[in-house]
Amino acid sequence: MARIVIDPVTRVGGSLRLEFALDGDRIADAWASGMVFRGLEAGLRGRDPRDAWLLAQRICGTCSGVHAVASVRAVENALGIKIPVNARIIRNLLAGTMLVRDHVTDFYLSQLVDWVDVQAATTADPTATAALAATQAQRPGAAAADFAKVRDRIAAELGSGHPGVLGNGWWGHPAYRLSPEQDLLLVAHMLEAIDWQRGFMRLQALFGGKDPHPQSFLVGGMALVPPWGGPAGSTGRDHPQVPDANAPGALGADGFGLAVDLLATARAFVAQVFVPDVALIAAAYPDFVGVGAGPGGYLSAGEYPRGPVDAPDLLLPTGRLDAGNLEASQSVSGAEFAESVVSSWYSYPGGSDVLLGGNRGQTTPAWPGPALPLQSLEGAGAYSWVKSPRYRGVPMEVGPLARVFVGLANGQADVAVAVAARIAPLKLSVSGLAGVVGRILARSAEAEIVIGHLGTWLADLRTNLGTGDVSVADISSWDPASWPSEAQGYSLGEGPRGTVAHWVAIRDKVVSDYQVIDASTWNLSPRDGTGLRGPVEAALVGIAVADPARPLEALRVVHSFAPCTGCAAHAFGPRRDAPGGTRQHTVEGIR
């Protein structure tokens, strides 16, 4: 069999190596290897639990803040802390903003060039492109002159000799199906999405203090306060004034006014640009409907509590679906999460073939090779820094598609409406969403749903503050003297890419153990002790590849998961000769 290596896979988070064997023109087997060895779990041991979130969120700066929320929830669970209503809403606003941003930018900046021939866009007719834009959505500004500027800009970049990120595209690949005008329209929107992201993430900075890595989280709530003028008179201890007139207080009238304006602009882009663009791609590539479906099991832990944290009503659904059954949603328990390291560069005391639950998980690196530079992962035994999470021993796909399927099975009306609007024009069944196109459509549906709720949460926050309830944190357990000598806690939730779980153990006022199972750990997991592939590996098997030297079809499958090896891998090696110093070699790979 012919063998293809892509190392590194670009437009993903972290370093990812793909290998697959071709039988004729189809992928017969696949291996996904996380090539990053990191250390935030081990680095949290001995730390103050109140600081854990600040370090844990450095797991990823792309889906920024996801691990901060998971970490503070885990510590709050360990210490029995219930956060105020205002804190819950602010956390939803931050996390929801991140999800919408991530879905939109992942489509335009990571996935789009898998479907769009940028070189062909330079031959498009701007007038015809403007006419196409007018049929897609009613919004101002889509003039022929605007598209001509984009076309000429891209042509100049490609012809400059220094095309940057556009220089290594597989332009002219036979798998590209769009017309030059469709290509130009989507490239123009890709450039527009960069500016859109910059404006939209002002919401993250408003409520989080900065982006990436918000700074306003707090064990017990949020570190934000409504406007206060300080004590009367000059005491020398007056409340400090806002140093920048353009940085209004998040919980003041100016802050709410800014947030409303930012949300309106962002929502218009999602409705008028992002949603129609996803529909265009889905309609143009019917051969990728139902392709790359993965192992068939789906998992969602739920997210965005709309009630008390101990008994929340969640916007994003909770449930799991066994392979072959998209209708019977079953309950989810963190006690059923477990990881194998039989194919990973770690060791367990009881042997690498055992499954350890998150609360008993360990991150002990064991690097036996293979020798560098890598020649092949096949037959290497262990071949990834990513562990293999399983639910009751079974691999599960997580992410937007999983949440959509679980939401439909749970009878969520907003999910049903959004899905119907997407599958009806394509004449698809719900089961037809399983695969590459379905993952893209699911992101579109979820972004539309969540951005609608951002406005509701903003109004709820303002209303609740107006009642006189200005509490944003419960600090009654802030003093470590009030803590038990030992405590354990966990959190289950969802980030843009899927299910995120944190476990923390506290002993003698410091973190004694910490474990994380991230969304990409689920999706990028290597084979387990029974030989079952993880979701990405399973999704690649059977994919047809038109040009083995340019396996664009395989990249479409991988990018549909929006994988992030930076999130998926664990551990820490401080010495230059430790696994953390492992260098990546690409001499034999296709870049």
SS (H, E, C) 132-153: HHHHHCCCCCCCHHHHHHHHHH
Q: What angle do CA 267, 273, 278 make, to 5 degrees?
A: 115
What are the boundaries of each domain within the chain? 2-225+251-368+381-581
Query: Whole-angstrom Cα distance, residue 210 to residue 216?
Result: 9
> What integer pLDDT is reported at residue 59 of this predicted model?
87
- Rounded to 5 degrees, φ, ψ at 85 are -60, -45
CATH of domain 2-225+251-368+381-581: 1.10.645.10
Structure tokens at 41: 């779990």
Query: Whole-angstrom Cα distance, residue 29 to residue 23?
Result: 9
Nearest CA among 74, 1, 9 for reference residue 563:
9
Beta bridge partners of 344: 384
User: Taking the complete model, does pTM exceed 0.85, yes or no?
Assistant: yes
Please check whether residue 86 is in contact with residue 216, taking contact to mean a CB–CB distance below 8 angstroms: no
Per residue in 333-365, is it b (16+ CB within 10 Å) or e — as a string? Answer: ebebbbbbbbbbbbebeeebeebbebbebbbeb
Q: What is the pLDDT along the chain (591 residues), one digit of tens a residue?
A: 788 999 899 999 888 999 999 999 999 999 999 988 766 888 899 999 999 999 999 888 888 789 999 999 999 999 999 999 999 999 999 999 999 999 999 999 999 999 999 999 999 999 999 999 988 876 766 799 999 999 999 999 999 988 888 888 999 999 999 999 999 999 999 999 999 999 999 999 999 999 889 999 999 999 998 875 444 444 454 445 555 556 778 898 999 999 999 999 999 999 999 999 999 999 999 999 999 999 999 999 999 998 776 667 899 999 999 998 999 999 999 999 999 999 999 988 878 778 888 888 888 888 876 777 777 888 788 999 999 999 999 999 999 999 999 999 999 999 999 999 999 999 999 999 999 999 999 999 999 999 999 999 999 999 999 999 999 999 999 999 999 999 999 999 999 999 999 999 999 999 999 999 999 999 999 999 999 999 999 999 999 999 999 999 999 999 999 998 877 764 333 344 433 333 333 322 332
Please check whether residue 309 is in contact with residue 493, taking contact to mean a CB–CB distance below 8 angstroms: no
3-state SS assignment for residue 305: strand
> What integer pLDDT is reported at residue 583 of this predicted model?
32
> What integer pLDDT is reported at residue 534 of this predicted model?
97
> What integer pLDDT is reported at residue 546 of this predicted model?
95
3-state SS assignment for residue 347: coil
Query: Whole-angstrom Cα distance, residue 41 to residue 582?
Result: 19
- Rounded to 5 degrees, φ, ψ at 5 are -125, 130
Name the strand (E) or helix (H) holding 453: helix 436-466
DSSP state of 239: P
